[in-house]
Amino acid sequence: MRKLIVMVVLAFIATACEQDKGYFLNGSIDGVEDGTSVYISELSDETRKPEVIDTAKIQNGKFQIDLEENEEPKLGFLSFEGVNGNVIFISENEEIKIEAYKDSLRSSKISGGKENRALNKYMDHLKEVNRKVMAGRTEMREAYSSQDTARLESLQAAEEEIRDNDNVAKKKILQENKDSYVSLMILMDMLRMKAYPIKEIKEMYSNVSEELKNSSLGKELKETLEKQNAVAIGSKAPNFSAPTPEGSSLALKDAMGEVTIIDFWAAWCKPCRVENPNVVKIYNKYHDEGLNIIGVSLDRPGQKDKWLGAIEEDGLEWHHVSNLKFWQDPVAQLYNIRSIPATFILDESGEIVARDLRGDELEAKVKELLN
């Protein structure tokens, strides 16, 4: 009978432990009134934006909340009612301790398992880089005000060195944390900052764990890498067809020259309109030698008149297409356009040989290819 009782108790304990899976936030914050709400958010798989998943209340400067088990780590955010900013953490199925500072949430201390240890290391690195850059920018403003050209150039070179060192340090942190969610965050940052060529970032991605590759962020990163690789320098430019101002359809392959520029722009884009006179000059100078341009406009739905007006006002006498779908334009999405102006320079075979050149650099590249 005693043996049976022991077995029942052990089974109950095992069941209780099984039900207690998940992660537990155990936090403190000074200077906040009792009853203040704490909001716990996670990065949504669908929207890629923080969404509140639970709340808690401050009591005696402390808060606790027990959350359900996560199938995979996710980026988490902790915010407080009436307090600016948030605390970033990674949701992992362990106890996560947070010591938050009301006047500087960014400086809050987080401790947990391997995921948050890796995150702390990465965030400390980013803070140090930001500190150095901001200090340099302050000195740059002073040098600019005093018209100290030599000092300004020296500071600009120093910032470039900081950025280079930042890229090297990120790569090292990545190599040390191949099985951590932070590795995916670093790769996303590298991609956004164009820290390394797409080919190198793809190689780094291939070295992270299979579990991470199969996570939501891992799959998103893979898809983004594939899209960007498709329009990277050295790749064949993807063909496309889109409506012309006259309402017919024009394909890239039918607008090609010995050198072709695909120019993503819009009537509402001031930097695009400022650059247009330079592109007109290059087109007029080299069109007879084999330069063709196809402009892809990201103008808004229902604003065809503004698109056509800008073409006429700026004297853009080359091929034009647009779906008038703003950032949802299929051609812009095919070419992974996130900002404009954006240009792709193609050789005679349709290979992308350069991107986003302006002014004299653009003309020099066109001249080089035609020669």
pLDDT tens track for 230-255: 999 999 999 999 999 999 999 999 99
What beta strand segments (E) does the chain contain? 23-29, 37-43, 50-57, 62-67, 74-80, 87-91, 95-100, 109-111, 241-243, 249-251, 259-265, 291-297, 319-321, 342-346, 352-355
Amino acid (1-letter code) at residue 51: E
Arithmetic mean of pLDDT, 263-276: 97
Q: What is the mean pLDDT of residues 347-360?
A: 94
Q: What is the pLDDT of residue 19?
A: 45
Predicted confidence at residue 14, as pLDDT, reads: 41
Tell me the average pLDDT of the chain.
91
- Asked whether the predicted pLDDT for residue 15 surpasses 80, the reply is no
What's the CATH architecture for 21-109?
Answer: Sandwich (2.60)
Nearest to 356 by CA among 292, 262, 251: 262
Task: Find tokens 């959350």 and name the residue.
Answer: 67
CATH 3.40.30.10 segments of the chain: 241-370
The pLDDT assigned to 135 comes to 95
The answer to pTM > 0.85 is no
Mean pLDDT, residues 341-359 taken together: 95
> What pLDDT is stored for residue 10 in this prediction?
42
CA neighbor of 273 nearest in space, from 331, 213, 315: 315
Residues above pLDDT 90, as percent of the chain: 82
**Does the pLDDT value for residue 8 go beyond 50?**
no
- Lowest mean pLDDT segment, chosen from 35-39, 65-69, 122-126, 301-305: 65-69
Which pairing describes strands 74-80 and 241-243: parallel, antiparallel, or unpaired?
unpaired
Q: How far is CA 289 from the centre of its chain?
A: 39
> Sorting pLDDT into bands at 50, 70 and 90, what band is 371?
confident
Query: Band of the pLDDT at 21, cuts 50, 70, 90?
Result: low
Output the pLDDT for position 47: 79
pLDDT value, residue 4: 42
Confidence of residue 49 (pLDDT cuts 50, 70, 90): confident
Mean pLDDT of 214-242: 92
Top pLDDT among 19 and 113 is at 113
Contacts of 39 (CB under 8 A, 6+ apart): 52, 55, 78, 79, 80, 81
Neighbours of 231 (CB within 10 A): 20
Region 316-345 average pLDDT: 96
Residue spans in the chain of domains classed CATH 2.60.40.10 = 21-109
Whole-number Å distance between alpha carbons of 165 and 109: 25
**H-helix or E-strand containing 311?**
helix 304-314
**Encoded tokens for 149:** 């050209």
| Residue 263 to residue 341: CA distance in whole angstroms | 7
Quick one: pLDDT at residue 244? 97
CATH H-level superfamily of 241-370: Glutaredoxin (3.40.30.10)
